[in-house]
Amino acid sequence: MILVAGGTGFVGAGIVRELARRGKRVAVLTRDAVRALDRFPGIEVEYRQGDVRDEASLAAAVQGAETVIGSQQFPQSPVEDRKRGHTFEEVDARGTEKLVRAAQAAGVRRYVYLSGAGAAPDAAYHWFRAKWRAEAAVRESGMTYVIFRPSWVYGPEDNALNRFIAMSRFLPFVPLIGNAAGQRLQPVFIDDLARAVAEAVDNPAADNQTLEIGGPDVLTMKEVVRAALQAAGRRRLLLPVPKSVMKAAASLLQFMPGRPLTPDAVEFVTMDALADPSEVRRKLGVRLTALRDGLGTYVGRG
């Protein structure tokens, strides 16, 4: 059995569907097994309750798993909320350390971790240092591991590109934060990432590898949003909003109920997100979908 932590999420659900399509037995680690029950209609999935911040909850959840896939992320990421323990430190770094310990104790043989392109011990941003700590826990666990470092993932359930498409439904313009004509992205289609992860579950070519995965093309944020609007059949003015203005707004919004934005989150969404997919292609034989083709499978289809 393969246990997917964060299997109800955007990336995790893509992985769950791909594993199920390949006939694998899949279980999902979720904080709320009742709420998760209708997440995968028509697919046989077992739900196991657990929270990566609560080590005691993980022992039973990992029982019987041969492979654990770590794809958990705190709600509203990248907007952190320290009071609620919704931080990169708690969920990515310490959460992975706890899940790795539980997996080791239960005799899990393989651990696949969804990190991020940019993870490094001395990275300027704390989210990349947290990802590095998580990676280190996975690498030093003694289990066979595969670490994926995706760039910017898009698909029907994403929380990023879909926001621009949603805005274009009721606004005559779409706001772009910062230097969107200079922000370089390599968007990777969720189906491609899911195939790479599913392949890595039993392909020995992936053993103990750290694999970047980005899409086939490097594009600017402006080009990505244009392509999405074009797929949706809409022409909209792309309105640049200076990063300094968004950060000033975020410094107030972070104290509002629901914490809609933080200055750090503004930094997060305006970073470059590049990842070289050549090793994933070579080692796992995964074909990467061009943005236009990926968008064409779901945008503007009713």
Q: Residue 166: which residues within 8 A CB-CB, separation 6 or more?
A: none
Which tokens sit at 245? 């203005």
Q: Give the total of residues touching ligand NAP (CB under 6 A).
A: 28
x/- binding map, residues 85-124, to ligand NAP, per CB under 6 A? ------x---x------------------x-x--------
Question: Per residue in 156-190, is it b (16+ CB within 10 Å) or e — as a string?
Answer: eebeebbebbeebeeeeebebbbebeebebbbbbb
CB of 86 to ligand NAP, least distance (A): 7
With beta carbons less than 8 A apart as the criterion, state whether 237 and 173 touch: yes
- Judged by CB under 6 A, the chain residues 33 through 72 that form the site for ligand NAP are 36, 51-53, 71-72
Which tokens sit at 254? 């972070």
- Among 45, 65, 73, 269, contact with ligand NAP (rule: CB under 6 A): 73
| Interacting span for ligand NAP (CB under 6 A) from 3-11, 118-126, 256-264, 294-302 | 3-11
Q: At residue 240, what is the residue type?
A: P
CB of 44 to ligand NAP, least distance (A): 18
Compute the radius of gyration of the chain from its Cα atoms. Answer: 19
CB of 161 to ligand NAP, least distance (A): 9
- Among 4, 12, 26, 283, contact with ligand NAP (rule: CB under 6 A): 12
Instruction: Write the burial class of residue 124 (CB in 10 Å: 0-12 exposed, 13-18 middle, 19+ buried).
Output: exposed
The contact set with ligand NAP (CB under 6 A) reads 5-6, 8-12, 29-32, 36, 51-53, 71-75, 77, 91, 95, 114, 116, 150, 152-153
